[in-house]
Amino acid sequence: MEEKLKRAKDKVVHTQVWRSIFRQGWPTTERNRVLTSINTLLLHLHPIKVKTHALKIRYTFCLGGVTLFMFVIETITGLLLMYYYRPTLEYAYQDMKDLEFTVTFGLFLRNMHRWAAHLMVLSVILHMCRVFYTGSYKPPREFNWVIGVQLLVITLLLSFTGYLLPWDQLAYWAVTVGTNMAKSTPIIGAEGPFAVLPANTDICFYLRGSEDISGNTLLRFYVLHCIFLPLSAAGLMGVHFWRIRKDGGISGPL
Amino acid sequence: MSFANYVWFAGVGTALVLSIGVLFIHEYLRVWKDHQAIAKRLQLKSLESRMDALASEASRAEGEQKKRLEERRRVLSMVYAQVKATPRQIQQIQLEQFKKVDRCTTCHFTVEDKGMMGQPQPYGGHPGAFLDWHEVQDFGCTICHEGQGLSTDYMQAAHKAIRIHGSERERPWPRGVQTKYLLQSSCGKCHLTKDVPYAPLLTKGRGLIEKAGCYGCHQIRLYEDLEKIAPTLDRLGSKVDRAWLLHWLNDPREYAPVTGEGLVRSRMPRFDLTKEDILCLAEFLMSSKDEQSLEEPPSGGNPERGGLLFREIRCVTCHTVEGKGGYIGPELEQITTKVSRKWAYNWLIKTHYFNPKTKMPQLDFSKEQAVDVVDHLWEEFGADQLTPPEGFQEAEESLKLSTEERMTRGEKLFSDKGCAGCHPRSGMEREGKTGRPLEKFAQMDEETLDWGKIDRFKIEPYVGNWVYMRLLNPRDLAPEGKMPHFSLTETEAALVALALLSDTGDKIPPKYLVEEKSSRYPRPPYPLPYGGVQGVEAQTVKEYPEPPGEFGRLVDRYRCRSCHVVFGKGGWVSTHPLDMEGSQVQEDWLRHYFDMPYSLRPILKERMLNLKMEPEEPKFFTEFFKTVSLDNSISPTLGSSLTEEEAQRGKGLFIKKGCRACHIVEGRGGFVGATLDKVGDRLTAGWTYAFLKDPQRYKPWAIQPDYGLTDQEARELTAYLMTLKDKGRVEKVSEHHQGGVGREGG
């Protein structure tokens, strides 16, 4: 029986298809384990060796991992929502209500996207606290701390741009207030100190695409929310994870 | 792995599976599914019972009647099959014209079924006949009812007030589902007319805006290019007494304290001016004089003759005396303290010279007659001099300003307070609109409104309430504001708010707009309740034509348009537009009516004036009406084809239909309708027939019910009414005429 199984396994493992996918043998030797990590896209970000103490859940609470998980949920639900949502004055609100009331599981989809977004902001902040309290921002990890801060900003921006898309009263006024702040930027804001630009060319105008919140703003925020910001976040996350590995693995004293 | 870890894993896994289960259950058990199922069950049950009733009725009936009943039953059974076959699904109405989608019929599934009227919501049929001429497929629900049509959930559809965080009370979403009274404001979105059929509150509210002259200071939709409501202030110095003016500016309600409630009392609001301000303003107003045009009245008038003339002309139709009379003109009881005798005399002689916009006709008084009337007024109402109000004497003494300075301050006050919004004054035609524009009123954001001392968490901070409070007590909301105190009652204030809320700023396709010009001339386009759509198309006119030539001159002189509609424009005091007068009344009657006009309705306050025309003028009017003012759809020859027998049957019909409940015949009957005793002398047969067939033909708010008479029945009733003649009339009138009770009479 065992013989038969072994033969069957060999038959599969020695095919061209198998070998083209898995270039190394079973990770039974030290070398093969290293190759397993190096040869696959997803695992190559992961350190080849993990310290045993890092496996303890209460060491990091997996907060970075939770954030990544939220980001994946946001990507999947966001892509699905894009099938139903049109970022125009005429349809934006109506499409959102359609999702709530007529699309099967549409309400679930929308709520999942929304709650995951809230949780992502929360977990990013907790992650930062954890890194701070364990002193993990100290050299040689100072570069990764800076990347992390940029990721925090992008997360908040993703949240902010997404807030406008339902195009209801809450969205409209929240973003009005939010973008009004840009007017007070020094020099480039129309109402800030040392202002040099008039209201129709200042930084707030470029943010909104018009002097008030309008269809332009909606489209602008939509593109930012769905393309520009997620891609930037994904790129920076790649650097972030790679740097963890290069800086001596997940937390712990060096 | 330890045992605890297994427990954890199992627990979390179960929770996950359960929450996914909840998701499916939630998706399956949507509230609307239950509602639709119940609605359908109730409707099928009701249809069954209706079909059974028809079947049993049909089994008892015979011939035509039986066929009709069976046909109706067949239609119902088709509806039954259709309802039964409708799967349980979201129902939606796509309104491409309005760019809206309404899903209300998902739960309000039976709304179009009249047989379901009176069932508890959401299973009831729509009350009234409104859906007959506002088809659900064209208008949906939220155009009128507001709320969130996209939603299929009770709260999300904004049926109910939403509790705002931190507020003690629930607050309606400003555009939440509207029922009962406020609903009528929605009619005003499309109906851009002053009178909106079946929306009496809106009509009243719009009338109040016009009457109070809100548009003098505010930009309001529908009131863009109206005449200013108040009399001109040119020549005021020659017209009124200074002490009276001080009283008037101090508190206008003091001057007219007896004549009714609310706006009836005084259209002039109270401005809360200080004594110094009033003195300065009076100085400025009194400076406009015109002594050259005024002629000294001759002395020695005969007040008795004047009194006779006063009653004969029926001045009280427009002017109030001792609390009785009309409200078109100013009340006359205190006229002697207001204007000088000299002014009153000149006014009667040159009415239209002093105020070309007045509603008062230019009566042809001789100098003696004018003095008679003026002396009658002065004798009747006294010639006491007014003293300035309390405290003004002292204020006058302590006011250390030169005449020049007073004038400047007065002029500034005049333009700041927006006096020119209501009062025309030469040189100030462009001034006036000092108030906040009220266009797109319902869209106003409550955050931008000034709530003053009001604690917004104690009330419903909603723009309608804001304007209500502002109208009743403007200083509570804006202690420093300009808005004066209007003497509106609470009901009137609420109606004004309702009318203002009808300007929502929603984009309505032009096809659905009902505008003033298309609606009244020559007849309204809207179909009538229970009567189906009327055949006649509305004729849209760009401009009302001015009456031409000699006719136009007379219409202007006698100010017919103050009460009657002439060439599409004018007041609605009289029952029907004079544009159809030639078809309505008989020639003889018309010619003699001007000599001694009488009231057709016993309870009506407004009565036709005795205009004291030149002898040839009634003849001219009669000829003009009989040749020009005709409705071509009315047969002029119907009268000759009516038979005695028909009249006999008509009499029976008259009694059967209970016409006497409202109309007086042979001295008995109700007081609502016109007296019918001499109707055979007055109306033409063609008109009577047309009116009986469709009473709301020219005036959609006419009280006369539409009995749905058949052609034959209408003929019979007409024939009967035409026999109601005044036997002795012909002789009487000719006698009367020879007696010379023309213009010089009395």
Count of residues making up chain A? 254
Question: Within a domain: residue A195?
Answer: yes
Nearest CA in chain B to A105: B27
Instruction: Name the pLDDT band for B538 (thresholds 50, 70, 90).
Output: very low
**Which chain A residues are within 8 Å of B153, Cβ to Cβ?**
101
What is the reported pLDDT for A124? 97
A90 touches chain B (CB under 8 A): yes
pLDDT digits (tens, 9 = 90+) for A34-57: 888 888 887 777 777 788 877 788
Question: Within a domain: residue B337?
Answer: yes
Q: Are residues B146 and B290 in the same domain?
A: no
Question: Within a domain: residue A26?
Answer: no
Q: Are residues B134 and B254 in the same domain?
A: no
pLDDT digits (tens, 9 = 90+) for B716-728: 989 998 888 876 5
Question: Within a domain: residue A80?
Answer: yes
Which two three-digit tokens encode residue B574? 């009289």
Nearest CA in chain A to B25: A105
Q: Are residues B250 and B136 in the same domain?
A: no
Q: Are residues B571 and B692 in the same domain?
A: yes
Burial B595-626 (b: 16+ CB within 10 A, else e): beeeebbeeeebbbbbbbbeeebbeebbebbb
Coil, strand or helix at B181:
helix
ipTM above 0.85?
Answer: no
What is the reported pLDDT for B45? 94
Chain A interface disruption, residue of B1, B107, B150, most A CBs within 10 A: B150
Instruction: State the distance between the two ends of chain B, measured CA to CA, in whole angstroms.
Output: 121
Which two three-digit tokens encode residue B565? 């509609």
**Which chain A residues are within 8 Å of B27, Cβ to Cβ?**
104-105, 108
The domain boundary, picked from B383, B408, B433, lies at B408
Distance CA A149, CA B350 (A): 87
Nearest CA in chain B to A97: B150
B94 touches chain A (CB under 8 A): no
Q: Do A101 and B23 touch (CB under 8 A)?
A: no
E strand or H helix that includes residue B621: helix B616-627
As for how many domains chain A has, the answer is: 1
Which phi and psi (to 5°) does residue B434 adopt?
A: -95, -10
Neighbours of B642 (CB within 10 A): 20
A111 touches chain B (CB under 8 A): no
pLDDT value at B533 more than 50: no
**Which chain B residues are within 8 Å of A102, Cβ to Cβ?**
90, 103, 152
- Residue B722, Ramachandran bin (φ over 0: left; ψ between -120 and 50: alpha; else beta): alpha
pLDDT digits (tens, 9 = 90+) for B488-510: 888 888 889 889 988 888 888 88
A100 touches chain B (CB under 8 A): yes
Instruction: Name the pLDDT band for B17 (thresholds 50, 70, 90).
Output: very high
pLDDT value at B527 more than 50: no
What is the reported pLDDT for B260? 54
Q: Are residues B698 and B562 in the same domain?
A: yes
pLDDT value at B459 more than 70: no
Question: How far does A99 lie from chain B, in Å, by closest CA?
Answer: 10
Q: Do A100 and B151 touch (CB under 8 A)?
A: yes
Residue B401 near residue B277 (C-beta atoms within 8 A): no
pLDDT value at B569 more than 80: no
pLDDT digits (tens, 9 = 90+) for A84-107: 999 999 899 999 999 999 998 999
**Which chain B residues are within 8 Å of A108, Cβ to Cβ?**
23, 27
Q: Do A97 and B90 touch (CB under 8 A)?
A: no
B60 touches chain A (CB under 8 A): no
**Which chain A residues are within 8 Å of B151, Cβ to Cβ?**
97, 100-101
Q: Which domain holds residue A138?
A: 61-246
**Which chain A residues are within 8 Å of B4, Cβ to Cβ?**
none
Q: Determine which of A116-130, B539-553, B580-594 has the lowest per-residue pLDDT on average.
A: B539-553
Using alpha carbons, select from B93, B100, B108 the residue that is nearest to residue B146: B100
Neighbours of B355 (CB within 10 A): 16
Q: Are residues B136 and B248 in the same domain?
A: no
Question: Within a domain: residue B503?
Answer: no
B59 touches chain A (CB under 8 A): no
**Which chain B residues are within 8 Å of A105, Cβ to Cβ?**
23, 27
Question: Within a domain: residue A1?
Answer: no
Q: Which domain holds residue B688?
A: 549-746
Question: Within a domain: residue A31?
Answer: no
Pinpoint the alpha helices (H) of A105-228.
Answer: 106-133, 142-164, 169-183, 203-208, 215-223
Which whole number is the average pLDDT over B165-173?
A: 46
As for how many domains chain B has, the answer is: 3
Domain of B553, CATH number, reads: 1.10.760.10
Residue A92's Cβ-side half-sphere holds a number of Cα atoms within 13 Å equal to: 21
Q: Are residues B109 and B248 in the same domain?
A: no
Question: How far does A139 lie from chain B, in Å, by closest CA?
Answer: 36
Question: How far does B151 lie from chain A, in Å, by closest CA?
Answer: 6
Q: Do A102 and B153 touch (CB under 8 A)?
A: no
Tell me, what amino acid is at B500?
A: L
Residue A201 near residue A208 (C-beta atoms within 8 A): no
DSSP B492-510: HHHHHHHHHHT-------G
Q: Which of A94, A101, A108 is facing B153, going by the closest CB pair? A: A101
> In percent, how much of chain A has pLDDT > 90?
63
Q: Do A108 and B27 touch (CB under 8 A)?
A: yes
What is the reported pLDDT for B170? 47
B502 touches chain A (CB under 8 A): no
Instruction: Name the pLDDT band for B603 (thresholds 50, 70, 90).
Output: low
> In percent, how much of chain B has pLDDT > 70?
84
Highest mean pLDDT among A210-224, B263-277, B304-318: A210-224
Q: Which of A101, A102, A108 is facing B23, going by the closest CB pair? A: A108
- Residue B72, Ramachandran bin (φ over 0: left; ψ between -120 and 50: alpha; else beta): alpha
Question: Within a domain: residue A23?
Answer: no
Question: How far does A103 lie from chain B, in Å, by closest CA?
Answer: 10
Highest mean pLDDT among A156-170, B121-135, B597-611: A156-170
Highest mean pLDDT among A168-182, B421-435, B523-537: A168-182
Question: Within a domain: residue B528?
Answer: no
The domain boundary, picked from B117, B137, B159, lies at B159
Q: Do B153 and A90 touch (CB under 8 A)?
A: no
Domain of A214, CATH number, reads: 1.20.810.10
Neighbours of B435 (CB within 10 A): 18
Q: Determine which of A16-30, B292-306, B572-586 has the lowest per-residue pLDDT on average.
A: B572-586
What is the reported pLDDT for B175? 58
Burial B455-488 (b: 16+ CB within 10 A, else e): ebeebbbbbbbbbbbbbbebeebeeeeebbbbbb
Which whole number is the average pLDDT over B131-137?
A: 86
**Which chain B residues are within 8 Å of A98, Cβ to Cβ?**
150
Q: Are residues B394 and B282 in the same domain?
A: yes
Tell me, what amino acid is at B27?
A: E
Q: Are residues B144 and B246 in the same domain?
A: no
Q: Do A100 and B99 touch (CB under 8 A)?
A: no
Q: Is the bond into A140 cis (omega within 30 degrees of 0)?
A: yes
Residue scoring higher pLDDT (A148 or B494):
A148
**Which chain A residues are within 8 Å of B90, Cβ to Cβ?**
101-102
Task: Kindly tell me the burial class for residue B327, based on how many C-beta atoms sit within 10 Å of its own C-beta (0-12, 13-18, 19 or more).
Answer: middle
B103 touches chain A (CB under 8 A): yes
Which whole number is the average pLDDT over B285-307?
A: 85
pLDDT value at B545 more than 80: no
pLDDT value at B731 more than 60: no
Q: Are residues B566 and B697 in the same domain?
A: yes
Which two three-digit tokens encode residue B326? 């009309």
- Residue B300, Ramachandran bin (φ over 0: left; ψ between -120 and 50: alpha; else beta): left
The domain boundary, picked from B159, B174, B198, lies at B159
Neighbours of B36 (CB within 10 A): 26
Residue scoring higher pLDDT (B10 or A45):
B10
What is the reported pLDDT for B532? 28
Which whole number is the average pLDDT over B664-675?
A: 80
Distance CA B508, CA B523 (A): 23
Question: Within a domain: residue B525?
Answer: no
Which whole number is the average pLDDT over B435-453?
A: 81
Question: Within a domain: residue A165?
Answer: yes
Question: Within a domain: residue A157?
Answer: yes
Residue B437 near residue B463 (C-beta atoms within 8 A): no
Instruction: Name the pLDDT band for A68 (thresholds 50, 70, 90).
Output: very high
